[in-house]
Chains A and B, each alone.
Chain A
Amino acid sequence: MSRFEFYNSQGLRIDGRRNFELKNFESSLTTTSNFNNFSRNSQSSTTYLQMGQNKILVNIDGPKEPTNSNKSKIDQDKAVLDININVTKFSKVNRQVSTNNNNSPDKQTQEWEFEIKRLFEKIIIMDSYPKSIINIAVTVLQQDGGILASIINCVSIALMNNSIQIYDIVTACSVGVVDQMHYLLDLNHLEEQFLTSGTIAVVGGSPTQNVEDANVCLLSFNDIFPLDLLDGFMMAGIKGCCTLKDIMVTQVKAMNINKLIEIQ
């Protein structure tokens, strides 16, 4: 059916991973107590995530009082979330030529913004920041499949790095299906292009948790696919998300550990 063999008899994928093998996950904090930071009003810090070949920067500004331009948005009781995703034109293999002249994001990006906004509105404890606005700016530097999942993961880390109160950690993972029987986790762009694939996000998953009870907060699935295989698809995704949470927590803790002891 497709030109590639996505999952061979030895159980290896195109890029040499096993089917349930996640991408390399590395995140770092750009704004630390380094040179030149002291003079800055360091209300925001930038979080960088590299998930396989996906490279994403997330900058969170706020919570702060809205400026005049978006004052109409404010809510007296809780915070307002504003998400901007900027997919750079050089992020793919081929440079994207934009059809529209103005810099408005394309439909796909708008859809991501919509989904991510709706997702994090329920995860951030909005009540604790009345009359303020939280700006989340996402920049996609390089993409290699499963970009929505990577964005969600990076925003999740950035929220922790910025000490914004959240109920629990959100992790996301992309899942694909080969030959209607093998499930692949964390797709690369070839797999995403040719396989039926989707993204699943879980809040507060833990590896010990019962998979059926996992709290799914986002599911995006855009391909034709037999209904009866849906459970396997979701199980694979949830397992991936739950495993990812542990990695994420250790990395975030390691990132921030030096902040505990540095002030003398």
Chain B
Amino acid sequence: MAKELELNNTEKKFILSLLAQNQRLDGRKSLIETRNLDIKINPDAYGDVYVSLLTPEGSVSTRVHCKITADIVKPKDKRPFEGSFYVNCEINGLTGLQFENYSKPNSMSSEGYYTRFLESMILRSNALDLEQLCIIAGEKVWDIRLDLHVLEYDGGFLECASIACLTSLLHFKRPYVEVQNEKIHKVYTDLDERDGVNLGVLHIPIAVKFNIFQQLPTEELIKQSNNTNPGKELVAIDCTIKEEMLSNGEVLVALNKNREIVQLDKPGGVPLQSYKLLELANMALPMVENITSKILKAIEIDESKRNEYAYLLSAENDRYDG
């Protein structure tokens, strides 16, 4: 959480009263309305993606840049058939002044926690097929490194980052490698010479963060016999930074559209009744479906743009004309 930003009391009250009326500070009409999503893919490269969340007026509030690089390395001794995958997330003074001198060596920040959430979301659920990254068993494998840069920060980091990760994983093409006699013969780094190979993305997990705004003090919450007092808490998704600062609990859910939970975390915070947790997990599903289709569409559009002049170059055209 951003440390040096401080809200004054009137602002706090105002935002909370807005939330209680199902309104948002940036003009959204409901607590479960997300900001508009904008996915931009760099047309000159593979796996280079900008994802931004737009306010209703159309200005950018959160922007994440995601870039994948691939290297050939020696695999770990324990897993000779698997490549490796890392998520590296940079949040520093570039993102906002509140993140200046942010990195503390031995403790984890919320953003560090989210990054880890993303990494294990992709790795533990086998969303990225690591065995497909093997070139020569025990000798050479691909090392995929995903660099996330937060360019502008106004909440919604987890959603934005997970969308960026998955888009660029889906979009990235690693160079084709020719293997002869158990040795690497040639690596086609120039993708014009030979088309690259897509990464094996087996399913598309998308993370959604729910922020909980609990007005009741904790003691009331724990001790209340809950039948008398159901659902006092407000739950909002895609919170801005100001709302995030006011929330006192969060639930992180990663789902894919096959109705599977990939990861579910409630890291401390205010207690939540179990049925509410279930509700939230189910609530995330339509959003995940929506986002998945957006990602696929963005990639499809990019593909068609890249192949815009394909007919001019291909041999088929010649024959057709002639």
Residues of A bordering B, CB below 8 Å: 104-105, 107, 110-111, 113-123, 167-168, 198, 203-204, 210-228, 230-231, 234-235, 238
Contacts and interface: CB of A to CB of B under 8 A. Distances in A.
B261 interface: yes
A215 B259 contact: no
Contacts of A168: 222-223
Given A223-B125, A224-B262, A231-B278, A167 B267 contact: no
Interface of B: 105-108, 110, 112-113, 116, 120, 124-126, 218-219, 221-223, 225-227, 248-249, 251, 255, 259-275, 277-278, 281-282, 285
Given A122-B218, A217-B269, 5 more contacts: A120-B268, A198-B264, A219-B265, A221-B261, A230-B278
A170 B70 CA distance: 45
B281 A220 contact: no
B126 A216 contact: no
B267 A115 contact: yes
Most A CB within 10 A of own CB, among B125, B222, B262, B266: B266
Given A110-B107, A224-B125, A216 B266 contact: yes
Contact of A222 (B263, B267, B285): B263
A224 B273 contact: no
Nearest to B272: A216
A122 B271 contact: yes
Nearest to A119: B268
B113 A211 contact: no
A77 B272 CA distance: 25
B112 to A, nearest CB: 7
Contacts, number: 134
Contacts of A213: 225-227, 273-275
Given A221-B263, A221-B264, A224-B126, A216 B106 contact: no
Contacts of A203: 222, 271
B274 A217 contact: no
Contacts of B266: 216-220
Contacts of A224: 124-126, 260-262
10 contacts: A110-B112, A113-B108, A114-B267, A119-B267, A168-B222, A210-B226, A223-B125, A223-B263, A224-B126, A230-B261
Given A113-B108, A119-B268, A221-B263, A216 B281 contact: no
A107 B107 CA distance: 9
B108 A114 contact: yes
Contact of B105 (A104, A114, A122): A104
Contacts of A218: 266-268
B74 to A, nearest CB: 15
A213 B224 CA distance: 10
A35 to B, nearest CB: 36
A223 B124 contact: yes
A179 to B, nearest CB: 16
A230 B255 CA distance: 12
Contacts of A212: 273-275
B166 to A, nearest CB: 15
A107 B106 CA distance: 10
Contact of B272 (A104, A215, A221, A223): A215
B193 to A, nearest CB: 37
B116 to A, nearest CB: 6
Contacts of A204: 222-223
Contacts of A113: 107-108
Contacts of B249: 122
B268 A227 contact: no
A212 to B, nearest CB: 5
B65 to A, nearest CB: 23
B260 A226 contact: yes
